[in-house]
Amino acid sequence: IDEKVIIAAVCGATIALANKGILNNRKHTSNDLEVLKMFCPEYTGENFYLNQPAVTDDNLITASGIAPLEFSYEILKRTNLMKTETLEAWYQLYKTKEPKYFYALMESIEGA
């Protein structure tokens, strides 16, 4: 993580990061704060814990196991694999299932 490699963990993988001390000084989330405290005796990062579906802190991305869409969104946003308008249309399409976002997605990639 100190080499600025992107590290992404979802669900139980956040426990592995907590056990390594990686979550002690960075904003993060997981399935639940109490789970981290229960399974990670060396975990001291509760002041950095955010009760959100997914959290990005520089090159660290964490998410709850019930937030695969938000986890994917944060990874795609951090890696700049899509134009902003393409990413936003993609995310809204899968989040809302509204057809207007399909058309926005197609429009955003025309001529790409």
| Residue numbers annotated as active site | 11
Spell out where 1-112 has E strands: 7-10, 54-57, 60-63
Quick one: angle between helices 84-96 and 68-79, nearest 10?
A: 180
Q: Please give the order of strands across the beta sheet that includes 60-63.
A: 7-10, 60-63, 54-57
Q: In angstroms, rounded to a whole number, what is the distance separating the alpha carbons of residues 23 and 48?
A: 8
